[in-house]
């Protein structure tokens, strides 16, 4: 009896996973973003994966520079964004005078 219950549970789990894969919109993959975590030696959790447009809509973000901001000489450059620049280029791993917002905090606080 226990084996039967285990088999049914396993079958439902597999079927549920398959149905989730096939129910996802076909065009959704275009806007799926995976945070670039290559600067970290070791991760505590997997990298964040999200639908870019849905995320921005839910957060009511219209300006790309909110997340993809540009800084020069320690000052925010208004109306400039850096979509093609990795966050790790501006944010180091450890907090300091030249790095007031470390990379992990930038991911968690900004995004």
Say what the pLDDT of residue 111 is: 64
Rounded Cα–Cα distance for residues 71 and 90 (Å): 8
Is the Cβ–Cβ distance between 48 and 34 less than 8 Å? yes
Cα separation of the two ends of the chain: 48
For residue 93, what pLDDT is reported?
Answer: 93
Q: What is the pLDDT of residues 75-96, one digit of tens each?
A: 889 889 888 888 898 899 999 9
Mean pLDDT across the chain = 82
Q: Convert the pLDDT of each residue in 57-78 to its tens digit.
A: 998 988 888 888 888 887 889 8
Please tell me which residue, 86 or 23, carries the higher pLDDT value. 86
């Amino acid at each position: 009896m226990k084996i039967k219950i285990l088999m049914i549970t396993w079958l439902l789990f597999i079927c549920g996973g398959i149905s989730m894969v096939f129910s996802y919109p076909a065009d959704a993959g275009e806007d799926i973003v995976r945070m670039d975590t290559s600067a970290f030696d070791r991760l505590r959790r997997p990298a964040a994966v999200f639908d870019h447009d849905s995320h921005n809509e839910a957060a009511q973000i219209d300006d790309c520079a909110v997340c993809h901001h540009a800084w020069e000489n320690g000052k925010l450059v208004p109306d400039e964004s850096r979509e093609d620049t990795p966050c790790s280029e501006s944010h180091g791993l450890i907090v300091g005078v030249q790095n007031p917002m470390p990379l992990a905090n930038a991911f968690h606080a900004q995004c």
